[in-house]
Chains A and B, each alone.
With several copies, the nearest count.
Chain A
């Protein structure tokens, strides 16, 4: 497979049995490859910024998303209340999937079900599609039946994974909620229930008020914090989960340089996702992959005969 149109890397990696040309992914919901092609043309495909592409989260039914305003700029970060706008499973399969299958990197599809039944239909259907290399279960939402957040409570996470594990052979990644008392316990529960990998962190629950009215600024009320502001929190949670579970981890949260990616790998992540930084630089993933490969090359012991400056 051609890889000269992907970010440079220190070599391929194995992510739950799927080979990727390198460790850089996009964070779900932070890069719309279809929209990017409208804005930048096929240049996007010639210098694709990620070694694997993660879709925006797909829900069973179509969603318009939250009313504006949806964004608030925080110190060294971003607060968003997007509300998971998407075409729903049907629309995704018909409209988005064919276009995403054209991308030069393996496809990860992120799904969210508001109850076990929805999750079954999503995983069953998406898992049956050959274009889909991995499925990411976005657990940062309350289970409408129990009211408890799937990604924050070990028992909820275990039940949700167990309910869909048998429905597909496609590897299942579980994306945790960072607003958990004990993320490693949630990760361990998901692992025991059959998850193939763990993804973290999602945005931190947060709020902003309108400076003029002191009422909630975001149309959706509360929002999620991302960007450099959460970098140290992400690094801490990745290290904590890596110490507890042996599954491959995809780490993210405020990654803006190869050094930040190297930190997450050193903390125990197998791969790294770039989110908010892509808003500042559409090809950030490419630059970060390049910087990471460069730094790894510098760290690795010099090959015989090669000099080590």
Chain B
């Protein structure tokens, strides 16, 4: 059992967060098909959060009183892009409105404030060797976009979505990604793991970086395991604090439960037996 990040690599892919929550002004909210991109100005935050790290966000006003008298706790979001401006970094967050917290955040208007803590957790580590294969499913495209921005055109990006409505965010990628949709309304009528399958056939030496729903991540893990391909997976789990305080976000690994907010959200696929554990995804 590990409760202090025993499995965290010596050189952690972590940019430290300022201590405490801080206000961040909403600069813009963009519709991207079924998703939205929320832009926040974070002058007090570091300019270089690692792709795959995340921030805890809450609306500064009226954070509560939604469905089920929620939200109460802040919510975790990976930054999908960082734009450096004279006034400091501007952070992009890709939002999928699935409940009271994400709904409140998508309702924010420019000029309104967020409470923000981060960047938190461990991000993706630069590929040790070979080509980088970036795989994103649905809203999991968020940290993949941040990583693609960092790696540039040398990396190959594979994205899967339910339908063309959700695929809108693919237009944010600088180098055209390969697309798959469940209903064939955009790109290939396939699963993104089918695309990955083909890519690995051509280039077995690649390193895989993936984020998406548990079933997709499990398929990626299994595929990479059989191919002996190194993979870094960005997971999700329900979080209260985001900085290791509550022990609520644990996921089972070969070395026991680890706090995903502290020793993840990016984990080595080799550390995981399965992504389909109870509570996976929340």
* A interface, CB within 8 angstroms of B: 29-32, 34-36, 38-41, 43-44, 47, 56, 62, 64-65, 67-71, 73-78, 80, 82, 85-87, 95, 219, 227-228, 256-257, 276, 278-283, 286-287
Contacts and interface: CB of A to CB of B under 8 A. Distances in A.
The 8 closest A-B pairs by CB, nearest first: A35-B244, A283-B20, A75-B69, A69-B279, A68-B279, A279-B241, A71-B248, A43-B19
B17 interface: yes
Interface string B1-39: 101110000001010111111000000000000000000
18 contacts: A29-B247, A35-B245, A35-B259, A36-B245, A38-B14, A39-B262, A40-B19, A41-B16, A47-B20, A67-B252, A69-B238, A69-B278, A71-B238, A73-B70, A227-B72, A279-B245, A280-B21, A282-B245
B243 A35 contact: yes
B220 interface: no
B1 A39 contact: no
A278 B245 contact: yes
Nearest to A96: B4
B5 A38 contact: yes
Given A69-B278, A73-B71, A282-B245, 14 more contacts: A38-B14, A40-B16, A40-B243, A43-B18, A67-B278, A68-B252, A71-B246, A75-B68, A78-B73, A228-B68, A279-B245, A281-B20, A283-B19, A287-B20
A80 B120 contact: no
A68 to B, nearest CB: 4
B246 A64 contact: no
Contact of B72 (A64, A75, A82): A75
A182 B256 CA distance: 35
Is the interface on chain B under 10, 10 to 19, 20 to 34, or 35 or more residues? Answer: 35 or more
A260 to B, nearest CB: 8
Contact of A64 (B18, B257, B278): B257
A280 B58 contact: yes
A177 B101 CA distance: 32
A279 B282 contact: no
Contacts of A71: 238-240, 246, 248-249
A70 B239 CA distance: 9
Contacts of A40: 16-19, 243
A153 B250 CA distance: 33
Nearest to B73: A73
B64 interface: yes
Contacts of B252: 67-68
Given A38-B5, A62-B1, A219-B278, A279 B21 contact: no
B117 interface: yes
Contact of A68 (B58, B115, B277): B277
